[in-house]
Amino acid sequence: MMLKANMLAIETRAIHAGQEPDPLTGAVVQPIYTASTFVQDGVGENKGYMYSRTKNPTRSTLEVCLANLESASDALAFPTGLSAAATILELLDANSEIVAHHDLYGGIYRLFSMVRNRSSGHNIKFVNFSDIDAVRDAISDKTKLVWFETPSNPLLEIVEIEGVVRAAKEVGAMTVCDNTFSSPYCQRPLEMGVDFVLHSATKFLNGHSDLLAGVVAISPSVPAEIGEQLRFIQNSVGAVLDPISCSTLLRSLKTLTVRMDRHIENASTIAAHVDANRGRYGIQKLLFPGLESHPGHEIAKKQMKGFGSMVSFVLDGGQDRANRVAQNLEIFAYAVSLGGVESLVQHPASMTHKILPPERREALGVSDSLLRISVGIEHVDDLIADLDQALMM
């Protein structure tokens, strides 16, 4: 591309980054290379590819595009978000100290507390990252990794990214921000000093609920050896995204920014509507960082473009009513996951966060009457009518 790639807007880069018309045929869409192996010209001589676990041309194209969108020096594509997370953890030596946000995706909590603490001996401390002083108190000279999500799942807490980065840098710990809920369209943590961005690309990046994928994007300020080490580990454990999914994800990225605009607009409209009807709807608590009443609103406004499309609420009437409302919704499908074009509703206490011990759920505020919605890109009037009928029933 003649224009300087990093001068172009994200809308343009999402479509073109890393992608030139195919020199062989002129095809404007990247070919899918399904080959597992590549012919070698001689000892140590090849065209850059040998075996697809190590490097595959379709995956490389996707990784260039992803790195570009997150302002990263490099990005790695994994078969799931969790395998991406597990591979980052392999950078640590055994018995390392990790400080993590208390509100995390349930599967990441499970990986930390029920797998890696046993198999790697890591000591994982959970604290509330929306309180930077608490983060500062929890971090020690022994801390190797600082891990958080913002907005967090499912409570939509906002973490001040630059504050966490400052605290981590003081002790030389690396930082990981799970950017799944925001996508690089809303928030680019690497530009705020974070070392690694993690994505479940299953969610907004793909946006169509038809594949599983994960991403790690690496900051240009991370020493090159650490990036190489991550690639070495990825190849060693074999956690790579298949070429067909790479191609599907590349296609999905082309519409990321238009999808996000509609997601953001719909969620803001819905949150304002529900806020204005709390009494009628029997809603005790409404969680959405776009509302001025949200404790993280000012920070979210500073570090995000748009507030994403996740909204959580605590209902009057306990788990029975929460279950009924979720079942009564017609357009919002009662299903886990998020970030797709279709709207979803889920019950964290029995679904994504079931793995947490009940007392931990209670302490966090993941109550039995909490519902989380992922607002899709349908017409907002239809979504509001659906919520209205389900909440008034």
Ligand X SMILES: *Cc1c(COP(=O)(O)O)cnc(C)c1O
- Residue of closest CB approach to ligand X: 81
Residue of 17, 75, 77, 108 interacting with ligand X (CB under 6 A): 108
Whole-number minimum distance, CB 93 to ligand X, in Å? 24
CB of 171 to ligand X, least distance (A): 25
Which of 202, 209, 247, 312: binder of ligand X (CB under 6 A)?
202
CA distances for 74 relative to 23, 63, 195, angstroms: 24, 7, 11
Instruction: Assess 96 for contact with ligand X (CB under 6 A).
Output: no
As beta bridge partners, residue 199 has 215
Please indicate whether residue 203 is annotated as part of the active site. Answer: yes
CB contact burial 225-236 (16+ within 10 A = b; e otherwise): eebeebbebbee
Decide if residue 200 touches ligand X (CB under 6 A).
Answer: yes
Contact 203, 337 (CB under 8 A): yes
Please give the residues from 293 up to 322 whose contact with ligand X meets the rule CB under 6 A.
none
Stretch that binds ligand X, among 25-33, 154-162, 175-183, 247-255 (CB under 6 A): 175-183
Question: Is residue 82 a contact point for ligand X (CB under 6 A)?
Answer: yes
Helix, coil or strand: residue 54: coil
Tell me the C-alpha distance between 286 and 315, whole Å.
9
Which parts of 131-150 interact with ligand X (CB under 6 A)?
A: 149
Nearer to ligand X, 78 or 281 (CB): 78
CA–CA gap between residue 373 and residue 200 (Å, rounded):
17
Catalytic residue chosen out of the listed positions 49, 53, 231, 275? 53
CA distance 248 to 21: 17
210 a catalytic residue: no
Interface with ligand X includes 368 (CB under 6 A)?
no
187 binds ligand X (CB under 6 A): no
In the chain, where do the E strands start and end?
74-78, 97-101, 123-127, 143-149, 174-178, 196-200, 214-218, 283-287, 310-315, 333-334, 344-346, 370-374
Q: Does the footprint of ligand X cover residue 212 (CB under 6 A)?
A: yes
Strand 333-334, strand 344-346: pairing: parallel
Residues classed as catalytic: 53, 105, 178, 203
Contacts with ligand X, residue ranges (CB under 6 A): 80-82, 105, 107-108, 149, 153, 178, 180-181, 200, 202-203, 212, 214
